[in-house]
Chain A
Amino acid sequence: DQQVKQNSPSLSVQEGRISILNCDYTNSMFDYFLWYKKYPAEGPTFLISISSIKDKNEDGRFTVFLNKSAKHLSLHIVPSQPGDSAVYFCAASKGSGGSNYKLTFGKGTLLTVNP
């Protein structure tokens, strides 16, 4: 039972354009969502997060949108740069305090930004 789904295994965009990565979840108890970027042979790098009390969070070129009614979140990267080429993972957790350290990950989306 995959509770966090990234339905696009790959995405290719041109440098300077917008990259939109999507993520769907099924567990309505999830209340904290994170995006990670991963290069080969490295661990995931934290990018941005959002709690369920918000619908948008922005950090530089990265913006995460959360639509709770649709159980959907998306990561926007504007403008996209070749160095953004990596696998992007969506992750979710539930509860506060000690119980929100169990992250449930999607399978990832490979983003390729072409020069």
Chain B
Amino acid sequence: KAGVTQTPRYLIKTRGQQVTLSCSPISGHRSVSWYQQTPGQGLQFLFEYFSETQRNKGNFPGRFSGRQFSNSRSEMNVSTLELGDSALYLCASSLNQGTYNEQFFGPGTRLTVL
């Protein structure tokens, strides 16, 4: 079974621009979560989508948004980029069965904001 895939793997943008990142979950997984990893803050939860609805949200400004499509694929958008948005953005998918569910991560998208 193919793992979580993320595109693009690397991206360079300038301040003020916007960016869209894409994530394809493991086949059959219906929950998709997004995380930001930076050297200073570590791994931080952005949001989680299930059945095309945002079900959980972290403490990030409204410039960070996402959506999920009917095939469970998800996109994340960051508008008005700031230098501090430079980070590794990770997507994780989960089966959403039972009480507890492991999340499986993709390789990430490395975003550099200049």
Q: Per-residue 0/1 for B64-80: is the Cβ within 8 Å of any A Cβ (1 yes, 0 no)?
A: 00000000000000000
Prevailing SS type, chain B contact patch: strand
Closest chain-B Cβ to A90's Cβ sits at a distance in Å of: 11
Residue from B4, B44, B50, B102 whose CB has the most chain A CB atoms within 10 Å: B102
* Given A43-B4, A107-B42, A108-B42: A101 and B103 interface contact (C-beta under 8 Å): yes
A103 touches B103 (CB 8 A): yes
Interface residues of A, count at CB 8 A: 27
Whether the Cβ atoms of B107 and A43 lie closer than 8 Å is yes
On chain B, the number of residues with a Cβ less than 8 Å from chain A's Cβ atoms is: 28
Asked if residues A101 and B31 are in contact (CB atoms below 8 Å), the reply is yes
Question: How would residues 71 to 115 of chain A score, 1 for a CB under 8 Å from any chain B CB and 0 otherwise?
Answer: 000000000000000000101010011111111111110000000
* A-B pairs under 8 A by CB, number: 68
Q: Is A27 at the interface (CB under 8 A from chain B)?
A: no
Q: Which residue of B lies closest to A52 (CB)?
A: B100
A43 with B90: CB separation less than 8 A: yes
- Closest Cβ of chain A: how far from B16's Cβ, in Å? 28
| Chain A residues with CB under 8 A of B50 | 98, 101
Contact residues, A30-51 vs B (CB, 8 A): 32, 34, 36, 41-46, 49, 51
Contacts of B90 in A (CB 8 A): 43-44
Known: A41-B107, A105-B42. 5 other contacts (CB 8 A): A43-B4, A45-B105, A49-B100, A104-B45, A105-B35
Chain B contact residues, CB within 8 Å of chain A: 4, 6, 31, 33, 35, 42-45, 48, 50, 55-56, 58, 90, 92, 94, 96, 99-108
**Chain A residues in contact with chain B, CB under 8 A?**
32, 34, 36, 41-46, 49, 51, 89, 91, 93, 96-108
